[in-house]
């Protein structure tokens, strides 16, 4: 399949034309796809449409930049995370959330507490796993979504600051999630906690949860899986081709993303279930909420995860939003679509979270 590249323009233009026809002869494996213009989405809120117009597809060239040495990787990551942290601190002030850093079972975590906790969430905890292409968003940089979850759901959040490449490839991330989760289980009932994250964080959530089952650990009451990479093979999934250029966030599965995924996989390889949970066992996972969008480069990953969960008998809800690219519910955070997502997520987790038994201390596991 031939791919065309996009460039910055006043309107969103891309190459995903459907001038395709059926193969002309037996054995022809590719469809010819020509360029066309994709306008801002119809059937979305005015605020989201305005967001698309204000933030068009950027030059995809940086998606092909790959640091050449470990020192270059670390310097690039530090620079990106420092810029993100500035925005995090501004958002924390705007949302009036409280952030406290702690270390649990040898793992760094951040507690994120909203100014007011909803009565229904007084004894609940959202265990958050951050995204960031497996290499970004360490420390404070990983707190954008947990702050939104804490604020929108009015629910306490603990964000796990897991170890990352280049120094710590898989399975370090899921090892850290297992260690932190095991420590939380010592003082909290599992049915008062949910777990999840977006993108790489959603991958790690699924992989860690599959390992919980293997190790006989109690499971969270529910999982939140936001536009995950469930298969780290670079060419896996129709949407990685069809939505190339349409996704204003990821843009394309470029050389950088491929290199970051390979760096994360390390010696395990991209098809190991600790790395690509689509190759793991979905049996016995808890009820799961999944979200993606029609322009999401990882729509296929999300759909594949949903089908794997359903085939395993798991209660799984898939929410697909019109016009949204990768994690647009975070990019366009002040739109009706973003608000609706968090309302849906809150409704879902409340369906599965339970209050402690009578006489039990808040959040403490019954003996």
Query: Is 303 a domain residue?
Result: yes
Query: Is 85 a domain residue?
Result: yes
Give the helix, strand, coil percentages of the chain, each rounded to 5: 40, 15, 45
Q: What is the pLDDT of residues 195-249, one digit of tens each?
A: 999 999 999 999 999 999 999 999 999 999 999 999 999 889 999 999 998 999 9
Query: Is 42 a domain residue?
Result: no
Tell me, what's the pLDDT at 150?
A: 98
Helix axes of 144-153 and 336-352: crossing angle, nearest 10 degrees: 70
Query: Is 53 a domain residue?
Result: no
Per-residue confidence at 55, pLDDT binned at 50, 70, 90?
confident
Contacts of 267 (CB under 8 A, 6+ apart): 169
Question: How far, in Å, CA of 34 to CA of 41, rounded?
Answer: 20
From residue 249, alpha-carbon distances to 11, 98, 227, 287 in Å are 16, 28, 12, 28
Tell me, what's the pLDDT at 58?
A: 60
The reported pTM is: 0.89
Query: Is 195 a domain residue?
Result: yes
Which residue segment(s) compose the domain that 169 sits in?
A: 62-352
Query: Is 296 a domain residue?
Result: yes
CATH number at residue 74: 3.40.50.1820
pLDDT at 364 > cutoff 60: no
Tell me, what's the pLDDT at 216?
A: 98
Tell me, what's the pLDDT at 63?
A: 82
Query: Is 113 a domain residue?
Result: yes
Name beta bridge partners: 99.
112
Number of domains in the chain: 1
Give me the count of residues in the chain.
367
Query: Is 27 a domain residue?
Result: no
């Amino acid at each position: 399949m031939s791919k065309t590249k996009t460039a910055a323009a006043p309107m969103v233009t891309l190459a995903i034309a459907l001038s395709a026809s059926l193969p002309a002869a037996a054995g022809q494996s590719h469809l010819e796809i020509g360029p066309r213009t994709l306008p801002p989405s119809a059937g979305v809120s005015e605020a989201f449409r305005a967001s698309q117009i204000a933030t068009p597809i950027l030059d995809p060239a940086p998606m092909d930049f790959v640091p050449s040495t470990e020192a270059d990787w670390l310097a690039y990551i530090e620079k990106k995370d420092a810029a993100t942290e500035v925005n995090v601190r501004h958002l924390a002030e705007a949302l009036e959330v409280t952030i406290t850093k702690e270390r649990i079972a040898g793992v760094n975590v951040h507690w994120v507490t909203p100014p007011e906790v909803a009565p229904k969430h007084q004894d609940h905890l959202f265990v958050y796993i951050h995204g960031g292409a497996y290499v970004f968003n360490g420390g404070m940089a990983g707190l954008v979504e947990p702050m939104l979850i804490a604020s929108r759901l009015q629910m306490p959040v603990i964000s796990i600051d897991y170890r990352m490449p280049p120094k710590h490839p898989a399975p370090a991330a899921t090892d850290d999630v297992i260690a932190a989760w095991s420590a939380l289980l010592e003082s909290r009932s599992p049915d008062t906690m949910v777990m999840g994250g977006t993108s790489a964080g959603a991958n790690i959530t699924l992989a860690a949860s599959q390992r919980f089952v293997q190790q006989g650990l109690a499971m969270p009451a529910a999982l939140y899986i936001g536009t995950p990479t469930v298969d780290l093979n670079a060419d896996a999934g129709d949407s990685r081709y069809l939505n190339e250029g349409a996704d204003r966030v990821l843009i394309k599965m470029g050389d950088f993303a491929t290199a970051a995924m390979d760096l994360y996989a390390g010696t395990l390889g991209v098809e190991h279930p600790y790395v690509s949970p689509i190759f793991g066992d979905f049996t016995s996972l808890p009820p799961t909420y999944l979200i993606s969008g029609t322009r999401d480069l990882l729509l296929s990953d999300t759909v594949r995860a949903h089908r794997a969960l359903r085939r395993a008998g798991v209660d799984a809800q898939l929410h697909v939003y019109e016009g949204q690219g990768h994690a647009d519910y975070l990019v366009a955070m002040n739109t009706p679509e973003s608000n609706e997502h968090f309302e849906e997520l809150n409704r879902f987790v409340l369906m599965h979270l339970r209050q402690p038994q009578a006489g039990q201390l808040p959040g403490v596991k019954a003996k």
